[in-house]
Amino acid sequence: MRWLIRTLSKRLFRGRKNQSRDARAANQTGDGNLFRAPRKNQVLSPDLETNLKAIKAIFDKCSDVIYREFVFAQNEQIRLALIYIDGLADKGQVSEQIMRALALEVPMVVPGQEITKARALEFIKQRGLCMHQVKETDKLQDVIHAILSGDTVLLVDGHTCAIINGARGWEARSITDPVAEPTVRGPRESFVETLRTNTALIRRRIKSPGLKIETLRLGEVTNTDVAIAYVEGIVNDKLVEEVKSRLERIKVDAVLETGYIEELIEDNPWSPFPTVNHTEKPDRVAAMLLEGRVAILVDGTPFVLTVPTLFVEYLQASEDYYERFLFASAVRLIRFVSMILSLTLPSLYIAAISFHHELFPTPLLLSIAAQREAVPFPVFIEVLIMELSFEILREAGVRLPRPIGQAVSIVGALVIGEASVRAGLIAAATVIVVALTGIASFTFFYSFSIAFRLLRFTLMVLSAALGLLGLISGLAVITIHLCSLRSFGVPYLSPMIPTTGVDLKDVVLRSPWWGMFTRPRLIARQDQKRQEQGLKPTPPKNPRP
Amino acid sequence: MLEKGKIDSNQAVMLMVSLVLPTAILFVPAIIVKHARQDAWLAAIVALLGGLLIARLVVSLSLRFPEKTLFEYAQTILGKVPGKLVGLLYIWWFLYTGALIMDEFASFLCTAIMPETPPVVLFLVGIAVAAYAVRNGLEVLSRYNQLLLPILLGLLVITFLLVTKDMKAERLLPVFDQSAPAILKGAAVPLSWLGEIVLFAMIIPFLQKPREAHRVAALATLFTGLFFAICTVVTLSVFGPNLAAHWVFPVYNTVRVVSIANFLERLDIIIVAVWVFGGFAKMGVFYYAAVLGSAQWLGLKDYRPLVAPVGLLLIGLALLCDNIVDLLDFAARAWPPYALIVFEVGMPLFLMIVALVRGKGESNA
Amino acid sequence: MLKKIAFFLLLALLTGILSGCWSRKEISEIAIVLGTGVDLTEDGRIRLTVQIARPTAFVGGGEAGAVGTEAPASWVVSAEGRTVEEAERYLAMKVPRELYWGHNVILVIGEEMAKKGTRMVTNFFQRERQPRENAWLMVTKGEAKDFLETYSDLAKTSAQAAGFLTRMKTCYAVQLREFAEMLASKGVQPTATRVEAKKAGITPGPGQEKVFTAHKQVELTGAAVFKEDKLIGWLDAYQTRGLLWLKGEAMKGAVIVPSPAEPDKNVSIRILRGSTKVVPEYDGENLRFNVIIKVEGNMVDQQSREDLARPEKIKALKEAVAEAIRQRTAVALEKAQGEYGVDIFGFGEAFHRKYKKAWRELKDRWDEEFTRAEVNVTVDVRIREIGLLTRRASTEEK
Amino acid sequence: MVLVFIIVSIAIILLEAPGLVKKKMWRELAAFLAYLSLGMALVIPQALGVKLPNPTKAIEALFRPLAELLK
């Protein structure tokens, strides 16, 4: 398999080196604000007024920026200024730990010592601030960044140095149940919109210094924090490099969701199949990381990307690994079947009804013929109408506020299902087929079923025109396409195709945990061994202790 | 090298199975049974043994030049001009066989599922899918095949199991009813199909482990030959030697016979799926060989520009075929000497001898 | 840009191809043929009769299936022509939908047609892709048209009724492909199911006798015997059992034997399974077939008063069953060897399997050889169960 | 049918040729065009209804003595 990586990395890195170097350079300089960007490497002046003026100029018409000037330790000569953004900074901390401490408490703590302007900075840092996270900088743009990130910046008159206090605190959603991926068994936590919370959620699951979390900023206007997480020692280093270089290549004005990044780092942007997976469950991300994948977290969204992504991932729910393996395997089998159904059932139905009547057993054919006797449409139109109305219903159900959404689905089901059959507009068999297809497409991941829904319509057209031949040709093209897909160098269909025998333990069937000795071979190249062999529990020889 | 991908041995075995099996299971049983009657399975085994010899010959020849395809080492062995001539012959063979496969593809579909469809449409559809696979390269083609072949063969085996109810072992008796010449005649056709393994000479350089080529070719031939024999036995034991020889597509009819519990019946769709999915693969392999061969013959840097024009050419050649009787007659009578003598045994043997005499290539292979 | 143009060109082409819609027939555009009959008219033409399903009668459940309003389930229509296909084309002028043969359950051949030769008929049904080779083939006494014009009270259509009857193998049943195989073999002459339309049963109920008078329904009545593809005679139901025993097929049904101690009373043995083995013996001159039939059955009915639950009685019963079966086979053999002079049992095939060299000489005059052959039938009977009773409930013990 | 093939050919040219020209792969372009015209030469007459000689017949004639064996 080594040749694969080699050729791939060659292919991937070719012609991208220069670009990525530029991108990296641009990023390091951190050209934050597009509009009144400070000159590169502009340093602070010792004069507080000048600094304030410069900052105020940058934050012109930003009413949420607060400038609070006061004096240090009641010494009129040492003037200080606090700058922070209202709503992002924790007001309690700012007033208690910074202002109160500096203005009132320092003189009490150090009564005898004389605080001069020159030594003020030293005093503030060592004795004054009661903050857990403090940084120093002399660059204007760092100051701007800090303010925008929610930090509180303390400027000291007479010093070219600003103190950045990590007193962030804003209104954030608390950790709740995963909405998009609910589970019966397994952790109920899901990611939230705050990057730090999310990294903490992962860290809490992988308590190892091997878990590395690197951050960078993306988005020229939004300056969104993006973190790359991986487990050193398991992950393939080349993969990390590749992820970084693809991320650094991105130059967009905004990254509001992981979806932005997903589309910019995909291997095959035209494919209907997603080659970058996302999840909102920390346990799933942790499991992914432990298989050697890389996670990409973005501030402001609870969805985390994981790469490389395999086809089978979309059929594996995190719950599979928590339930007993026999049951999990059975459920997974059902998911496989529903995947195939959701792709082919309507087109098979169309092909059978309008071309290949010999496929039905006689009684079934007669009963379907009886149902279709009064239907005024050809079956393709009929199925198309039903599929479209199903999609409309589904979309309406998602978009509407929850209470109305339910009403819509009830009315829709009644109108479309019951009434249209009674009116003789639609055959009952068609309703069954469409409903089964629709439900089948909900058994696996949403983002994946979108691809199947799109392709389903294509296959329907094909089978309406050429019957079974059209359907099979369409499926063949889809298969070829899937075979040609890669996600970050890993063949999309692996471990099925190309077959890596040991990895088939976790595809259609889920092996018991005592059988999962190795990590996926094509993803985790470094540390293949997952666990010790011989963990299969054996009952003690002596049943009674 | 023109092809950048590499395939592993399993994929190669499956590709070589697909090279022969999909069309063969439809046409060949009837032809074998026609000659060898009850002893058709024996003929299939004889053909299998012959096929193993051909595979041995071709792989031995190719392994003298493990980095080169047939087109390249023909020139090394024979010199530039005669080598080019051999190459041209093989391009013709690949192209025309590809076209014949398409004819078979279309004639089956026309007979079995869609009689009113003009063959041109079927050609266009078939070529479009195969071209998509070929353009994506050997790697994707063999992956496609690796994914589908086991499923298709599994389905086929399941239907064979379902038809056991209608099988009667007596229909296979008596053994050795036919004379040896009849059995050999019956073996000629399957042998000439198994001999298509010559195409493996185009694939060997792209194996991850070329040294396993002998194993790959032998396994593929063994599997294909055995599957032939199984198909023949199943067909025979369902229809008996008299009727089996009369069907055009006996395996198709066999599957149509399945009827279990008044519900599990009418499984025609399975054989159609096997045939169409497999047909794409088989067509793809010949198509690929023709395209790659042409590119090497012309000394091009990339074979992909040729994919589409060669597809058009294939359609043109396939259109030449007039009717299914011509096709069947050709497959049963002219094809075995044409393919065996010239391309499958004659040419490789000739190349091998010349190579040995001239001492070209690695002798340890 | 150029690529986009090319893309649109291909898209246009695709739409063009897709709008072709060849071979496309909606289910509501086809006439589903359930049964087909072929007769020979007096002027020597072929009359094709089809029983077509009327879909409206097949609506399941709900308000449509209300009792009493049941619509006729089939429509029978016929046309004539020189070949089956020509007749079909004339049919197409009468049937407002495309005839669809894919679910043809039975193929009925009229007596006259069968005498003329079945090859004129069956070839179409094997060559065409729609008709299936496992349709049941039957020959009717009289006209196939009359046979198809019946209807059934239990099954929806008479074609389906006939199909179910044959499928259950209550009598001799043969599929088109089996018939074709027999036709193609020199070692066996074809036989087919013999069917007739007879009045059967009534539908009781207040006022119903006026609505449902006893009408003709399909019935299996034996087998038709062919020489090559021409009908030469019939076997009745009893003789057909002998045929079945000798062919080793469908070992079902009952054997009625006299009770050992009271020969005027009968005991019924229901046959569960059995097998037939034909062992030919040939010394270059004389031809002999040893037929070994193995039977297993249960006792289901007893008219006599004696206690049959005794080993010696069972033994006597066994012998009686063996004798009864021998009798049946003898009747069938006599018909085949004597009256018709054809090997309908496939003894030729058995002979071929054992004496492949001698077969080459004999195969062209096999039927003569067969009529001269001696057939020994040995029956090995096993009676396993006697049901829930040990003996008949009666006052006195015998 | 002629139209179909002409459309297909144009589409093929539009899809493949620009890339080849851009990459200055003249040899490939020549081979591409040669094959394409060969294909057109086979396809267009047939689409117009001209019967072309069938190579199958030639092969059969060539191998007649052997083919007779397999009758």
Which domains, and CATH codes, for chain C? 28-55+71-235 (no CATH), 238-398 (3.30.300.210)
3-state DSSP of D8-52: HHHHHHHHHHHHHHHCCCHHHHHHHHHHHHHHHHHHHHHHCCCCC
Q: Categorize the per-residue pLDDT at C250 as very low, low, confident or very high, splitting at 50, 70 and 90.
A: low
Residue A424 φ then ψ, to 5°: 80, 15
Q: Which of A479, A493, A504 to mutate to test the interface with B (most CBs of B within 10 A)?
A: A479
- Kindly tell me the burial class for residue C81, based on how many C-beta atoms sit within 10 Å of its own C-beta (0-12, 13-18, 19 or more): middle
Give the mean pLDDT of chain C.
83
- How crowded is residue C328: how many other Cβ atoms within 10 Å of its Cβ? 22
The average pLDDT across C92-119 equals 88
Using CB atoms, list chains with 3+ pairs below 8 Å to chain C: A, B, D
Whether A302 and A355 map to the same domain: the answer is no
Q: Which residues of A touch C103 (CB under 8 A)?
A: 357-358, 362, 365
| Domain count within chain A | 3
pLDDT of residue C211: 63
Count Cβ atoms within 10 A of the Cβ of residue A244 and give its class: 0-12 exposed, 13-18 middle, 19 or more buried: middle
Tell me, what's the pLDDT at B282?
A: 92
Asked whether the predicted pLDDT for residue A15 surpasses 50, the reply is no
For residue D48, give its domain range: 2-69
Structure tokens at A545: 């202790």
Q: SS3 for C269?
A: strand
Average pLDDT over residues C201-222: 74
Confidence of residue A227 (pLDDT cuts 50, 70, 90): very high
Confidence at residue A28, expressed as pLDDT on a 0 to 100 scale:
43
Crossing angle for the helix pair B9-36 and B250-257, to the nearest 10 degrees = 90
- The mean pLDDT of C239-248, rounded to a whole number, is 86
- Domain extent for A147: 48-165
Q: CA of D68 to nearest chain C CA: how many angstroms apart? A: 24
Query: Which chain A residue lies closest to C102 (C-alpha atoms)?
Result: A358
| Per-residue pLDDT at A208 | 92
DSSP H or E stretch at residue A438: helix A428-440
pLDDT band at A110 (very low <50, low <70, confident <90, very high): low
Q: State residue A330's pLDDT score.
A: 93
Q: How far is A522 from chain B (nearest CA, A)?
A: 15
Asked if pLDDT for residue A20 goes beyond 60, the answer is no
Can you list the positions of beta strands (E) in chain C?
30-40, 46-53, 74-81, 98-100, 106-110, 136-140, 191-199, 216-227, 230-235, 254-258, 266-282, 287-302, 374-383
Percent of chain B surpassing pLDDT 90: 30
What is the torsional sign of CA B187, B193, B197, B202? positive
More confident residue, A17 or C391: C391
> Which of the residues B173, B235, B260, B269 would you substitute to probe the C interface, choosing the one with the greatest number of C C-beta atoms within 10 Å?
B173
Share of chain C above pLDDT 90, in %: 6
pLDDT bucket at A30, cuts 50 / 70 / 90: very low
| Residue C204 pLDDT greater than 80, yes or no | no
Residue B358: pLDDT over 60: yes
Beta bridge partners of C192: C224
Q: Is the pLDDT of residue A36 over 60?
A: no
- Closest CA–CA distance from residue B68 to any residue of chain D (Å): 21
* Final residue of a structural domain among A108, A130, A165: A165
Under 8 Å between Cβ of B73 and B293:
no
Q: Which of C24, C34, C60 sits opposite A367 (nearest CB)?
A: C60
- Angle made by CA atoms D23, D29, D33, in degrees to the nearest 5: 155
Residues of chain B above pLDDT 70, percent: 99
Interface test with D, best of B33, B320, B324, B335 (most D CBs within 10 A): B320
Across the interface, whether the CB atoms of B308 and D12 are under 8 A apart is answered yes
Domain that holds residue B24: 9-358
Domain assignment present for residue A298? The answer is yes
The mean pLDDT of B200-221, rounded to a whole number, is: 89
Does residue C205 carry a pLDDT above 80? no
pLDDT computed for residue A544 by the predictor: 67
Q: How far is D28 from chain B (nearest CA, A)?
A: 6
- Pick among C3, C4, C7 to test the D interface (most D CBs inside 10 A): C3
In a domain, A349, yes or no: yes
Provide the mean pLDDT of chain A: 83
Name the residue with higher pLDDT: A513 or C200: A513
User: Is residue A524 domain-resident?
Assistant: no
Query: For A99-108, C56-65, C194-203, which range has the lowest pLDDT when averaged over its residues?
Result: C56-65
Task: Write the CB contacts of A426 (distance below 8 Å, at least 6 apart in sequence).
Answer: A375, A382, A385, A386, A416, A420
User: For A445-460, how does the pLDDT look when each residue is reduced to its tens digit (9 = 90+)?
Assistant: 888 888 888 899 999 9
- For every residue of C345-393, DSSP letters joined together read S-HHHHHHHH-HHHHHHHGGGHHHHHHH-EEEEEEEEEE----S-SS--
Which residue from B minimizes the CA distance to A465?
A: B117
* pLDDT tens digits, C178-201: 888 888 888 888 899 998 888 877
CB contact under 8 A, B316 and D16: no
**Burial class of residue A536 (count of CB atoms within 10 Å of its CB; 0-12, 13-18, 19+):** exposed
Q: Using an 8 Å CB-CB cutoff, list chain C residues near D47.
A: none
Look at residue A34 in the predicted model and tell me its pLDDT: 47
Do chains A and D meet with 3 or more Cβ pairs nearer than 8 Å? no
Pick from B286, B254, B279, B232: nearest CA to B98: B286
B vs D, Cβ pairs < 8 A, gives: 115
Q: Name which of B113, B121, B176 is nearest C20 (Cβ-Cβ).
A: B121
Q: How many domains does chain D divide into?
A: 1
Per-residue pLDDT of C298-341, as tens digits, reads 888 888 877 777 888 888 888 888 888 888 888 888 888 888 88
Quick check: helix, strand or coil at residue A149? helix
Do A154 and A84 touch, CB atoms closer than 8 A? no
The pLDDT tens digits of the residues spanning B253-284 come to 888 888 887 778 888 888 888 889 999 999 99
- Closest alpha carbon to A66 in A44, A36, A41, A99: A99
| Side chain identity at residue D3, one-letter code | L
Asked if pLDDT for residue A413 goes beyond 80, the answer is: no
- Is there a contact between C184 and B117 if contact means CB atoms under 8 Å apart? no
B37: alpha, beta or left? (left if phi > 0; alpha if psi -120 to 50): left
How far is the C-alpha of C382 from the C-alpha of C297, rounded, in Å? Answer: 6
Pairing of strands C136-140, C106-110: parallel
Measured CA distances, B251 to A315, B107, B232 (Å)? 36, 15, 8
pLDDT confidence of residue A70? 86
| Interface mutation target, options B132, B173, B243, chain C, most CBs of C under 10 Å | B243
Q: How far is A295 from A297, CA to CA, in rounded Å?
A: 6
Contact at CB, B268 and A359, closer than 8 angstroms: yes
Q: What phi and psi values does residue A161 have, to the nearest 5 degrees? A: -130, 135
Number of H helices, E strands in chain B: 15, 2
CA distance B13 to chain A (A): 13
D8 to chain C: which residues are within 8 Å by CB?
10, 13
**Number of residues in chain D:** 71
* Nearest Cα to Cα of residue A227 among A251, A263, A185, A255: A255
Q: Which two tokens stand for residue C346?
A: 């496939």
Residue B161 sits in a domain of what CATH number?
1.20.1740.10
Tell me how many domains chain B contains.
1
One-letter amino acid identity for A314?
Y
Residue type present at position B97: T
d(CA B250, CA B25): 9
ipTM of the complex model: 0.90
Residue B333 to residue D66: CA distance in whole angstroms:
8
Report the amino acid identity of residue B285: V
Residue B360 has pLDDT above 80, yes or no: no
Residues from chain B contacting residue C354 (CB–CB below 8 Å): 174
Asked if the structure places residue A28 within a domain, the reply is no
* Distance spanning both ends of chain A, measured CA to CA: 51
Spatial CA neighbour of A318 closest among A288, A275, A277: A288
**Torsion angle (degrees, nearest 10) of CA C278, C283, C286, C290:** -20
Q: Kindly give the residue spans of alpha helices, DSSP state H, lying in A362-427.
A: 362-372, 379-399, 402-412, 420-422
Which span out of C59-68, C142-151, C211-220 was modeled with the highest average pLDDT?
C142-151
Residue type, B41: W
A133 CA: distance to closest CA in chain B (Å): 53
Do the Cβ atoms of B246 and C184 come within 8 Å? yes
H or E segment at A136?
strand A134-137
pLDDT of residue C62: 47
Please check whether residue B4 lies inside any domain of the structure: no
With b meaning 16 or more CB within 10 Å and e meaning fewer, what string describes A316-347? bbbbbbebebeebbebbeebbebbebbbbbbb
Together in a domain, A270 and A201: yes
Residues of C with CB under 8 A from a CB of D: 2-3, 5-7, 9-10, 12-13, 16-17
Neighbouring chains of D at 3+ CB pairs under 8 Å are: B, C
Note whether B146 contacts A499, CB cutoff 8 Å.
yes
Q: D70 contacts in B (CB within 8 Å)?
A: 35, 185, 188-189, 332-333, 336-337
| A291-300 mean pLDDT | 92
- pLDDT tens profile D15-66: 888 888 888 888 888 888 999 999 888 888 888 888 888 888 888 888 888 7
Q: Which residues contact B249 (CB under 8 A, 6 or more apart)?
A: B26, B27, B30, B108, B111, B112
Nearest CA in chain B to A2: B208
**Nearest chain A CA: its distance from B144 CA (Å):** 6
C208 three-state secondary structure: helix
Per-residue confidence (pLDDT) for residue B264, from 0 to 100:
80
A378: alpha, beta or left? (left if phi > 0; alpha if psi -120 to 50) = beta
The 10s digit of each residue's pLDDT in B42-55 is 889 999 999 999 99
**Phi/psi-derived region of residue A408, left when phi > 0, alpha when psi is between -120 and 50, beta in every other case:** alpha
Residue labelled with tokens 């459920």: A331
Chains that touch A (3 or more CB pairs under 8 A): B, C
* Cβ <8 Å between D62 and B332: no
Token pair listed for B266:
């009418």
The confidence score (pLDDT) of residue C173 equals 87
For residue A239, give every residue at least 6 positions away whose Cβ sits within 8 Å of its Cβ, in sequence order, or none: A230, A292, A294, A307, A308, A488, A489, A523
> What's the full length of chain A, in residues?
545
Q: CA D40 to CA D33: how far, in whole Å?
A: 10
Q: What is the pLDDT of residues A139-160, one digit of tens each?
A: 888 888 888 888 888 888 888 8
How much of chain A is in helix, strand and coil states, percent to nearest 5? Answer: 50, 15, 35
Please check whether residue A422 touches C, CB under 8 A: no
Phi then psi dihedrals of residue C301, to 5 deg: -155, 140
Measured between CB atoms, does C132 come within 8 Å of chain A? Answer: yes
Please indicate, yes or no, whether residues A156 and A258 belong to a single structural domain of this protein.
no
Choice between A288 and A107, residue whose per-residue pLDDT is larger: A288
Reply yes or no on whether the pLDDT at A108 is more than 70.
no
Peptide bond before residue B337 is cis, with ω within 30 degrees of 0: no
Size of interface A-B (CB pairs under 8 A): 88
Res B364 pLDDT > 60: no
Residue C176 distance to chain B (closest CA, Å): 11
- Quick check: B179 contacting C, CB < 8 Å? no
* A388 pLDDT higher than 70: yes
| pLDDT at residue A477, rounded to an integer | 93
Q: A60 and A149 in one domain?
A: yes
Task: Mark yes or no for CB contact D18/C9 under 8 Å.
Answer: no
Residue B174: asked if its preceding bond is cis (omega within 30°), the reply is yes
Nearest CA among A192, A69, A103, A94 for reference residue A151: A94
